Amino acid sequence: MGLLRAGVIVSFERDTYLADVELVGYVSSYLTDLPVAFHLRPDLVSEGAACVVLFFDELDPTDGVVLAVYGGVPASDPKFDPVVGHKHRGLVGDGPSL
């Protein structure tokens, strides 16, 4: 059974999608190179963002993934429609090239 823990993003590498995370309650102790779930937009995974880490094995702190981030405000994306959940709003450059 997995274990969820709260943390704070210390750093994030966009190229590898790996983050360093400080777990809440473990001051100055960082988990390094923790994978970040691919469904998270890279602009949301920023330094200081609160996060949720899922550990698959409670005894192995390196066997986990950053599952969610919260407590921040994402950068505005004029093409993204939060109601519909995608970028197709009829803006120039929004569709495929024919």
What is the tens place of the pLDDT at every residue in 74-88? 666 555 555 655 555
Query: What distance in Å separates the CA atoms of residue 90 and residue 81, rounded to the nearest whole number?
Result: 11
Say what the pLDDT of residue 10 is.
94
Please give the residue range of the domain that contains residue 14. 1-98
Backbone angles phi, psi at 28, to 5 degrees: 65, 15
Q: List CB contacts of 82: < 8 A, sequence separation 6 or more.
A: none
Residue-wise DSSP of 3-60: EEEEEEEEEEETTTTEEEEEETT-TT-EEEEEEB-TTS-TTTS-TT-EEEEEESSTT-
Q: How many domains does the chain have?
A: 1
**Is 0.75 surpassed by the pTM of this model?**
no
pLDDT of residue 36: 96
Look up the CATH number of the domain holding residue 96.
Answer: 2.40.50.230
